[in-house]
Structure 1
Amino acid sequence: MIQPAGSPATKAAPGRNKDQAHNWIRFVRKYGPIPANDSAFEEHTGKAARRAGVAPITFLHPRFAEVLGCLTGQQMLSVILTGTAGDGKTHLCGKVWEALQGDATTWASNNPYINQVLPSGATLHVIRDLSAWVPQQGAEWNQAERELLETFSRSLFETSTTDYFLIAANDGQLIETWRRLPDSEAVNKARSRFEQLLVEDLESLPDVALRFFNLSRGSSAELFDFAIQAFIDHPGWQSCFEGEMGESVAFGDKSPIRRNFELLQEPQLRQRLRDLLELCDYNDLHIPIREILALLVNAVLGHPTCNKDNLMVPTDVAKIIQQGTVAQASIYNNIFGGNLRESRRESIGVFNYLDRFRLGHETTNRIDGILIFGEADEALKEYYDAYLGNDPFYGADASYRLAQSNYVESAEEDNSNSDFLDMLVTQRRALFFKIPASEAQELHLWELTVFRYAGEYLEKVVRTISPPGVGNGKVERAIINRLVRGLNRVIVGMLITDDRKLFLGTSLQSTGAKVSRIYEDAISVNPSRGERVDVVWNGNKPALKVTMNESISESFKLNLVRYEFLSRVAEGALPSSFSRECYEDVLSFKSRLLTALKKRRLQEGVEEDNTLSFQRLRLDESGRPENITIQLNIPA
């Protein structure tokens, strides 16, 4: 936490402190969601930091030690860093260059290609921006550029080389560059290996002296842990909140900048925000470092009426307090980009992804009861006071109470309450971060999002079975049964209540028919004669594994959307209306299960005879499947 304002030990010259504080805020805004985002380029950030007289926000990338090890170990390997823009590839190259005692002046140059001789006598070639090194599309290759990449291609397959490379390239640039190079055996072979590494999501191949790091495959939640600590611990904030500046209007006790910075340090808010980013990971939505930093800056400085970028500067604070619009700087709304224009918010991945949770737009009667009627309702007043009444910054201020009163007293068809409805969105978002874990189940915390089962997915599935795992490492049988019930309803197309067996049905028309009444077989969920259904860890996420015998099994990866889909279907939602993509995914899994079933029958020696037998599925009054056998004799 920040030190108390006005601490005698930290006081400094007022003018100097003010300049430092204002310079820091001006600089840190460059990491925010602004159109001219200097953090898009590593060298631009460094220049901006030097102009402001501050240090840039920096931390070691989670893959740093592995990358450095490739270039310092007994068996050296070249390294390619790929990923989306903003994944920190150039910054990681810089840290490796620094660790290898590379010349700082050389790194500070604008040259996309630099090199140094290592203590071993080998040469390290660093291309920190491949797109800036190669010629533009349609232009002729410069001889030096072409020869360097050809040297790299050959070095990957030579048993002995003195040339090692560290190359940073955005997704798509790598393959395109090697397609444009003049054909040669080494170039063609290298391109083929790059394609294999990308398509199969591999980091290495046995015949290539290369480590391939796709930074877009890393955990956004892990990057968040590093980024938020570096952001909070940066000494630039000390110039804002210590000494006389900590007593100023801009950074004092009534400042929304100060309050947001304090809230960002609270463990519960950090954990809930991390949960959302981790769920993005399990929805296959990667958030690069640049956008995580933009999120953090926006969380602290966001305000919808401040300049064209909607980010506060110190001189804005006095006016915000005077106009009574402090509540509009709510960190709970800023986290979702609520202070930004819609077009800007949608153009930034992290806000686009977080918006998919629909947090603030989803609600429950209990939550809205607290927010709208809680002050007057004895049964809800305790919650109202805890979450709104006792929050002088972002709770029930004068503007909220006035809008609340007008809303309650107005007719239902009155359309003049849009301001209060917007306030409700912000307050629901605030409750998501304020409700303690002890009350999360009682108040149905995750029903404030479109993913009602997200909390269960994280705690009882992901964190139970992911390496190294916690608890006994097994998903509760009740959860598995619910997922199986959801599968049954999609596979068969009827409201089956049975969750002890996984039913496989087909149709006389096709395996993809909406209703499949022809019974093929049923797989026992609990272990029985080699059959079982489990939730296991598969690669980087959970999967529903259906085992038919010791050698035959099929897995269905459970990202968050699929998990929610099957759970909702199991509870009665219409499968095709919730998510068409998920519905098609399950039907594809059904086809794989039917193929596996045929394979098992072949192993068991089950042969066709002259009797064509069908078993037709129907449901009894309780929704349990029953089989009716229909036989047709085929002439010999």
Structure 2
Amino acid sequence: MSACHSNPLVSFLKTYGPSPEADMLSDENVRDALDRFDVAPLEIPAPRLDEMVEALCGDTPRNVILTGTAGDGKTYHIRQFLLGKLALPPEQWPGRDPVLEVELPNGAQLRVIRDLSELEEEEKDAELAGLIACLKGERSDIRYLVAANDGQLLRYFRSSDLAGAPEIQAELARMLRFDRVEGPLDLALLNLSRTWSRDTVERIFGQILDHPQWDEGCEGCPGTGTDNPCPIRLNRALLRGDLGVGSIFRDRIEDVLRLGAANDSHVPIRFLIMLGVNILLGDRTTPDDPMLDCARARVRASRGQYAVCNPYENALGLNVPSARRSGYVVFHQMAALGLGEETNNLLDDALTRGVPEEVARHLFEADLLYGEQLFEPARRAYYVTADRDKADEFRRAIATQRRRAFFRLPDAGDGPASPWRLTMFHHAGLYLKVMEGLEGDGDKTLLDQVTRRLVKGLNRAYLGMMAEESDKLWLAGTIGRTDDTVGRIATVDAISRAAKFENIRLEMGEGAGRPRLRITSKSASGEIDPLDLRPLLFEYLLRVEEGSLPSSFSRQCQQEIRQFALIAAAAFGEGDQDEELNAVHVLSLGSSGQIDAKMLEV
């Protein structure tokens, strides 16, 4: 095959890459690209499609509003519904008019507004009046299917003088805030920005990596050989797990995305595709065009320039100029981990000295090109010379290897060999296991162990002392406004973790889909709001449980748990300032780390 051989699939995927043009990519543009490159489309999942079908075509049809951020697939969901469920001819969608009229199976008229911003000013009031009537249940012969970003949707109603608009705006705001699909309106509100599904991520990566045109389009290319392999195909093999070590790389990426979702950092579907494409095609040599095509990939392979298209660096967006990189939420999530900067003695020893052998084997086995081949020259030079330039080169090289290690090491529990020890979130692997346990039947032993550790961390944070108590929680504070550890007091009795009428347990929160710590007691005058365990707060409590000073890791987290203690104590009826304070517990630490409480009658 001649040197001009090019796989059209690579050219098509490049349109999804991190570039200003790709940022504006819409559903319509994608179909134009498919025709231009003559490739099969990526069958991207529409995770809320079944809910759309049920709402619009069920026994009692309702209006549907799709909301979310740009790139979440609102237009794609509508196209899948119209062309798939209603069998609308492809040439009728999207059409030229901003409002499309079709008939639902029950005979009702469906008015489809694909983007509120496309409505002319004179059209807005007429459509809004009709939408208000339908949302209030005043009409059943018409149904609306509307796509709009969150702020745009609320502005649409807030800026109107029509009767009923303010009430509907307030209800939509409430539904968005509490992630409600249903409410008093005749509506199913589907917020695509609050949709997390590991299955969706896996299907997107599968569509990119397993596209049938990889084999067909690359057939006959010299880069399919084993000597000086094509970096695009090499990166694909590493992400697929074709080289004998499973798909740890891809699994770890999905874990990072799940962690980000638990921290309310949503990645739209468009940018999940961009991430997968960038891992395969990223190239850091040309900032204005940071993507490989087939011609450039051949140059990289012939010159052995694999360092500039390293897939582990591409996963962090390091091929993209920093000013642009910060604008992509998915790369922001990766940057928040601190990969490459966080050190770990055990893992650094495995990289530099090959011990422990089992860890070193995982790091270098089946990935010699991006591992030993790139790292060994810098490692050797560093250990045989005191040249400052060689030391700087080594520091850059080991940072690169730490990033690679994070994506290559298998899960190793919560110990020092855990790949999460190479991030700022040392206990993120445990956090993910807690979520898995709470979403399924739950590993009762694991959840019990973690609950004990959280209680111990809370006690240490509240007391400012190295308490060992993990079965009882003291909602302690200080006298006055001081942070001095002397004079720690509690105005309520300790709450037992597993007493007959008391309980401290982990549960999965609604809406946000992350763990929270629930306290229940018959002594409480009302329900105690649970402690929402974002990844940072979870990390904070376990770091404190292990011995870190509370204020040294995160003052924000320290203030958050103090507020929780104040609110929880008030729920017991003892911390109410309008009532007489009958007694306080003065807390101190015993010789074995137990919490001693002395009662002071007031």
Cα distance change on mapping 1:442 and 1:307 into 2, 3 Å: closer
Which of 422, 430, 445 is residue 456 of structure 1 equivalent to?
430
Q: Measure how far apart 1:538 and its partner are.
A: 2.3
SS at match of 2:465: coil
CA contact (8 A) 1:77 1:209 kept: yes
Which of 584, 592, 600 is residue 567 of structure 2 equivalent to?
592
Which of 268, 293, 299 is residue 319 of structure 1 equivalent to?
299
Paired position in structure 1 for 2:406: 432
Would you say 1:193 and 2:171 are equivalent positions? yes
SS at match of 1:148: helix
Cα distance change on mapping 1:253 and 1:165 into 2, 3 Å: farther
Cα distance change on mapping 1:584 and 1:386 into 2, 3 Å: closer
Cα distance change on mapping 1:613 and 1:595 into 2, 3 Å: closer
Q: Within 5 A, what are the aligned runs for 1:3-152?
A: 21-37=6-22, 40-99=25-84, 100-133=86-119, 135=120, 141-142=121-122, 144-152=123-131
Looking at structure 1, the residues matched to 87 and 164 of structure 2 have their Cα atoms a distance apart, in angstroms, of 31
Would you say 1:507 and 2:483 are equivalent positions? no
Would you say 1:618 and 2:588 are equivalent positions? yes
Where structure 1 has 5 or more consecutive residues not aligned to the other structure, the ranges are: 1-13, 136-140
Paired position in structure 2 for 1:549: 522
TM-score w.r.t. the length of structure 1 is 0.86
CA contact (8 A) 2:287 2:320 kept: no
Structure 1 stretch displaced more, 149-158 or 493-502: 493-502
Corresponding letter in the other structure for 2:475: L
Where structure 2 has 5 or more consecutive residues not aligned to the other structure, the ranges are: 242-246
Which of 356, 370, 381 is residue 350 of structure 2 equivalent to?
370
Corresponding letter in the other structure for 2:156: T
SS at match of 2:587: strand
Deviations 1:57-104 (A, max 9, x none): 232311111112211111101100111111111111111111212231
CA contact (8 A) 1:548 1:600 kept: no
Corresponding letter in the other structure for 1:118: L
Corresponding letter in the other structure for 2:515: P
Cα distance change on mapping 1:594 and 1:312 into 2, 3 Å: same
Cα distance change on mapping 1:482 and 1:26 into 2, 3 Å: same
Cα distance change on mapping 1:325 and 1:524 into 2, 3 Å: same
Would you say 1:536 and 2:507 are equivalent positions? yes
Looking at structure 2, the residues matched to 583 and 514 of structure 1 have their Cα atoms a distance apart, in angstroms, of 14
Corresponding letter in the other structure for 2:568: L
Looking at structure 2, the residues matched to 157 and 517 of structure 1 have their Cα atoms a distance apart, in angstroms, of 55
Looking at structure 1, the residues matched to 544 and 190 of structure 2 have their Cα atoms a distance apart, in angstroms, of 38
Paired position in structure 2 for 1:213: 190
Corresponding letter in the other structure for 2:369: F
Paired position in structure 1 for 2:557: 582
Paired position in structure 1 for 2:313: 333
Structure 1 stretch displaced more, 85-94 or 501-510: 501-510
Looking at structure 1, the residues matched to 223 and 54 of structure 2 have their Cα atoms a distance apart, in angstroms, of 48
Looking at structure 2, the residues matched to 110 and 422 of structure 1 have their Cα atoms a distance apart, in angstroms, of 53
CA contact (8 A) 1:523 1:531 kept: no
Q: Within 5 A, what are the aligned runs for 1:564-583?
A: 564-583=539-558
Cα distance change on mapping 1:390 and 1:24 into 2, 3 Å: closer
Q: Measure how far apart 1:159 and its partner are.
A: 4.8
Which of 154, 163, 174 is residue 142 of structure 2 equivalent to?
163
Paired position in structure 2 for 1:526: 497
Paired position in structure 1 for 2:244: none
Structure 1 stretch displaced more, 589-598 or 475-484: 475-484
Deviations 1:325-350 (A, max 9, x none): 11332212211112222222211110
Deviations 1:605-636 (A, max 9, x none): xx959xx655422223333222344556xxxx
SS at match of 1:623: coil
Cα distance change on mapping 1:130 and 1:417 into 2, 3 Å: farther
Looking at structure 1, the residues matched to 64 and 12 of structure 2 have their Cα atoms a distance apart, in angstroms, of 32
Paired position in structure 1 for 2:328: 348
Q: Measure how far apart 1:433 and its partner are.
A: 2.5
Looking at structure 2, the residues matched to 511 and 83 of structure 1 have their Cα atoms a distance apart, in angstroms, of 44
Corresponding letter in the other structure for 1:493: G
CA contact (8 A) 2:413 2:430 kept: no
Structure 1 stretch displaced more, 36-45 or 349-358: 36-45
Sequence identity percentage = 30
Q: Within 5 A, what are the aligned runs for 1:255-404?
A: 255-266=230-241, 267-306=247-286, 308-374=288-354, 379-380=355-356, 383-384=359-360, 387-388=363-364, 391-397=367-373, 399-404=374-379
Q: Measure how far apart 1:586 and its partner are.
A: 0.5
Q: Measure how far apart 1:589 and its partner are.
A: 0.4
CA contact (8 A) 2:351 2:360 kept: yes
CA contact (8 A) 1:554 1:596 kept: no
Q: Flag the structure with larger Rg.
A: 1
Paired position in structure 2 for 1:405: 380
Looking at structure 2, the residues matched to 195 and 560 of structure 1 have their Cα atoms a distance apart, in angstroms, of 26
Paired position in structure 2 for 1:7: none
Corresponding letter in the other structure for 1:556: L
Would you say 1:235 and 2:212 are equivalent positions? yes
Cα distance change on mapping 1:476 and 1:190 into 2, 3 Å: closer
Paired position in structure 1 for 2:202: 225
Q: Measure how far apart 1:547 and its partner are.
A: 1.4
Deviations 1:512-534 (A, max 9, x none): 88766123233343322412211
SS at match of 1:185: coil
Looking at structure 2, the residues matched to 589 and 363 of structure 1 have their Cα atoms a distance apart, in angstroms, of 33
Which of 215, 220, 242 is residue 244 of structure 1 equivalent to?
220
Looking at structure 1, the residues matched to 126 and 56 of structure 2 have their Cα atoms a distance apart, in angstroms, of 22
Looking at structure 2, the residues matched to 342 and 283 of structure 1 have their Cα atoms a distance apart, in angstroms, of 23
Looking at structure 1, the residues matched to 324 and 177 of structure 2 have their Cα atoms a distance apart, in angstroms, of 32
Cα distance change on mapping 1:519 and 1:440 into 2, 3 Å: closer
SS at match of 1:508: coil
SS at match of 2:168: helix
